Amino acid sequence: MKTKLIVLLFTGFLAAAGLVRAQDDTNHLARLKEFMALVKNLKYQQGEIELRGGLAKLTVPKEFKFLGPDDAETVLVKIWGNPPSEEKPLGLLIPAGMTPLSTNCWVVTIDYNEDGYVKDDDASKINYDDLLKKMQKGVTESNKVRKQEGYPTVDLLGWAAPPHYDAATHKLYWAKKLKFEDAEGETLNYSIRMLGRKGVLELNAIASVEQFAEIDAQTPQILGMVDFQEGSRYADFDPKVDKVAKYGIATLVAGGALALAAKAGFFKVLLVGLLAAKKFIIIGLIAVVAIVKKFFKRA
């Protein structure tokens, strides 16, 4: 009798587990259909595109597709589940052969920060190894706050590529290796900054560390795609009328992590020092890719 009862209980457990799994698959399928409908309505663009009313010009080659502010917001918020920000991004670049649901997807977000003219006279004096240690300390402190607020922690593992500043073009790029709590593998945050008269164009490539070589090879092309228009260029700065930013190149790389790490509320909308695009893009991308992989593995 006892053996029979155990068998019945075990059979019941398997049946319940099957129902849960079936419901799980149904939920995944429903979400995928919803995502696919949103992706179908995205309006991709190529060629010459004006950003922010003529502030800058983007020339998109056949190897990439561009999504404007509304479509970029759809990808980041509705598909990838990131919290909306106060200001939409200027747009988003994605390799031509990919969609936001591709399991090997990587994107480049484009934003503009109008904090003023960033002086670059500290660029050649920065010890980036020391800066990294300070950033890691700031991120460790921020994780305490993130945990209290219910967000997953993140570790800044190191440079995937140390910062490089081109004084002739006033363009800066670097890459960080990140590890999110409970996420499989490491994540890459590849950052490109272009200094202008009144602010900085912020381009952030979000991908896995395994895609570093691919993105690194594309960086020169991406750098050449976008530039400030006449009147908004770095050389157009007028010290008599233009605002000067309160920070230099070092703080631009650190992303304000050191100064703002203690502000608990800030971490509800911004992962300081890691995502200048002001969204949890990495977390959203990881979650959607996991759903896609999980569903098709079971199908």
Q: How would you label 135-153 residue by residue, b for 16+ Cβ within 10 Å and e otherwise? A: bbebbeebbebbeeeebeb
- The pLDDT tens digits of the residues spanning 234-289 come to 999 999 999 999 989 998 998 744 433 333 333 333 333 333 333 344 444 545 55
- pLDDT tier at 3, thresholds 50, 70, 90: very low
Tokens 């706050």, residue located = 145
Residue 1 has a pLDDT of 47
Residue 187 has a pLDDT of 82
Which of 179, 250, 244, 249 has its CA nearest to residue 209? Answer: 179
Helices (H), 149-280: 212-225, 249-254, 257-260
Q: Choose between 9 and 228: higher pLDDT.
A: 228
Encoded amino acid at 288, one letter? V
Residue 268 has a pLDDT of 31
Distance CA 160, CA 121 (A): 25
Give the strand pairing for 64-67 and 91-95. antiparallel
Mean pLDDT lowest among 18-32, 63-77, 207-221: 18-32
* Residue 167 scores a pLDDT above 80: yes
Q: Choose between 98 and 297: higher pLDDT.
A: 98
Mean pLDDT lowest among 27-41, 68-82, 154-168: 27-41
Domains and CATH numbers, the chain: 42-298 (3.40.1000.10)
Tokens 């590890």, residue located = 179
- Are 188 and 211 within 8 A, CB to CB? yes
- pLDDT tier at 28, thresholds 50, 70, 90: low
Residue 64 has a pLDDT of 97
Q: Tokens for 292? A: 């896609």
Contacts of 292 (CB under 8 A, 6+ apart): 32, 101, 103
Q: Helix, strand or coil for residue 291? A: helix
Q: Is the pTM of this model over 0.95?
A: no
- pLDDT tier at 186, thresholds 50, 70, 90: confident
* Residue 149 scores a pLDDT above 90: no
Residue 27 has a pLDDT of 66
Provide the percentage of residues in the chain whose pLDDT is more than 90: 44
How many residues would you count in the chain? 299
Mean pLDDT lowest among 13-27, 58-72, 167-181: 13-27
Residue 185 has a pLDDT of 77
Residue 26 has a pLDDT of 62
Distance CA 55, CA 273 (A): 25
Strand partners, 111: 202
- The pLDDT tens digits of the residues spanning 45-90 come to 999 999 999 999 999 999 999 999 999 999 888 887 776 777 899 9
Q: What is the 3-state secondary structure (H, E, C) of 199-220?
A: CEEEEEEEEEHHHHHHHHHHHH
Within 13 Å, how many C-alpha atoms sit on residue 256's CB side?
16
- Are 258 and 135 within 8 A, CB to CB? yes
